[in-house]
Chains A and B, each alone.
Chain A
Amino acid sequence: MTALSPRRRWALRTLSVLVILAAWELYARLPGVFLLAPPTAVLGVLVTDLAVERTLLWALLSALRNAVAGYALAVGVGVPLGALVALWQPARDVLDPILDALHATPLVALAPVILIWFGLTSAAKVFLVFVFAVFVVTINTRAGVANVPSGLTDAARVFGAGAPTLYGEVYLRYALPQVLTGLRLGAGRAVRGMVAAELFLFADDLGAYLIDSGATFDIARLFAGVASLSVLGVLAVGAIALVEARLT
């Protein structure tokens, strides 16, 4: 396929974004259209609620606490579990199908069950985030560790490497990129789990911000919430990608 020059590519991209934004703005300002807010109005709400009154900012930060806790838990459980499954054949035979099945399952269906277990606590939200993030971390760690070539580990053993060198140097070094991929994808999942926790368990500030905006037909405010969550997702994944770039 003939590639576009980078300049043409960026020109086309910019043009396409401008055209859609302009069309959206014009359409949303037509009389009688009230289910769509113009982009300028969304931007206005974003600036006010993030930088001036900061209601959205505080809502995001307080929800983020649950997300960080759940994510840390998912990493703390997922990485060792993935390594165990990769290194120990019996564990792999048993847990592989279970992990794959749980990875494919819509885990948001557990939200009502989690409410029975934890009640209206932030532990419930942390647990839902954990459940959202843990499987992608586990499965990527498993793949990374299982892919370490036996030639490398055999060579290390021949040269007299003990367990600390073998696991700390050979396995860790070789598996690290894929483990980090798991952590990066897990960060994206954690943000989604955070949103699901706000909407399907019980609403704190962030859930209330989204739901109340919808209930009062304040579409600009609702879109500001959605957009800030997208940006938060990109930032979370980007932060891990930065770590990834430093370490590999």
Chain B
Amino acid sequence: MSRRRNLLVGLALVAACWEAAGRLAGPSFAPISAVLLATLDLYLSGRILEPLASSLVRFALGYLLAVAVGVPVGALMGFSPTADAALDTYVHVFFVTSVASLLPFLILVAGTGLGFYVAVVFLFAVFHVVLTVRTGVQQVDDALVDTGRVFGAEGVALYRHVLVPAALPVVVAALRIGANRAVKGMVVAELWIYAGFGSLLHSYQRYSQIDYALAVVLTIALLAVGVTQALAWVERRYAWTTVEVPT
């Protein structure tokens, strides 16, 4: 239990340093107590609820679309070398492209409606999902496949009993990585359009309300960590192996 004690003592220390630094540095750096009070106020006054709800819808739509496209495409690339050769150039090109630099283009194509957010979230997440699933499927041990063949699995049965179960942990990992990317996409899109969390952040910045701005950042951080940790828990609970994934 010394580990938990260390964590608690350490966090108290970090909080104390933050508090002291915030009080010493003056109004431009808020102490942690002010940030927590601002967070409380944001929730009690309900000001954050509307942005939170609309952001979650944008996140969910883009993320589900990215999973619905990314998992099958990644699996196809993993299972079929032909599909892999045909598609991997595009996936890699988009993987290295900064989606943020596409914002001025996406807003021309999709306008400022829901479609824009879904497009940004989708583009942030989908290539990570594709590459994770592809890498994982390609790493399925040849010995497993050979064993399956020896026991008479061919064609559909080989997929049904060997390849799909072997690849499932990777899909869960891809869901986790994709979810984290999707939250990042959601924040980027909202900052660009001044909507949801973005509009809150911009308005607090305009009046230099650092405590409220940090309170919004705190909510976003909790959201990102919560989504990622929930899927990491699923991964630990149900996945029988872990995978090396591209970052």
Interface on A for B, CB 8 Å cutoff?
1-4, 8-10, 12-13, 15-17, 20, 35, 89-90, 93-95, 97-98, 100-102, 104-106, 108-113, 115-117, 136, 185, 188, 191-192, 195-196, 199-200, 210-211, 213-215, 217, 219, 222-223, 225-226, 229-230, 233-234, 237
Tell me the count of chain B residues lying within 8 A, CB to CB, of chain A.
60
Do residues B93 and A105 form an inter-chain contact, with CB atoms below 8 A? no
Do residues B81 and A109 form an inter-chain contact, with CB atoms below 8 A? no
Interface on B for A, CB 8 Å cutoff?
3, 6-7, 9-11, 13-14, 28-29, 79-82, 85-90, 93, 96-98, 100-105, 107-109, 138, 145, 180, 183-184, 186-188, 191-192, 197, 201-202, 204-205, 208, 210, 213-214, 216-217, 220-221, 224-225, 228, 247
Interface of B: prevailing SS: helix
Do residues A12 and B224 form an inter-chain contact, with CB atoms below 8 A? no
Do residues B100 and A199 form an inter-chain contact, with CB atoms below 8 A? yes
Name B208's closest neighbour in chain A (CB-CB).
A116
Q: Which residues of B contact A225 (CB under 8 A)?
A: 101
Do residues B85 and A113 form an inter-chain contact, with CB atoms below 8 A? no
Name B85's closest neighbour in chain A (CB-CB).
A12
Q: Which residues of A contact B216 (CB under 8 A)?
A: 109
Do residues A192 and B98 form an inter-chain contact, with CB atoms below 8 A? yes
Do residues B180 and A13 form an inter-chain contact, with CB atoms below 8 A? no
| A230 and B89 alpha carbons, distance in the complex (Å) | 13
Contact of B96 among A101, A116, A230 (CB under 8 A): A230
Do residues A108 and B82 form an inter-chain contact, with CB atoms below 8 A? no
Q: Which 5 A-B pairs have the closest CB atoms?
A: A94-B10, A214-B104, A112-B205, A93-B6, A12-B85
Q: Which residues of B contact A1 (CB under 8 A)?
A: 79-81, 138, 145
Q: Which residues of A contact B98 (CB under 8 A)?
A: 191-192, 195, 226, 229-230, 233
Q: Which residues of B contact A2 (CB under 8 A)?
A: 81
Q: How far is the CB of B60 from chain A (nearest CB, A)?
A: 16
Do residues A90 and B97 form an inter-chain contact, with CB atoms below 8 A? no
Do residues B201 and A16 form an inter-chain contact, with CB atoms below 8 A? no
Q: How far is the CB of B32 from chain A (nearest CB, A)?
A: 13
Contact of A13 among B85, B204, B208 (CB under 8 A): B85
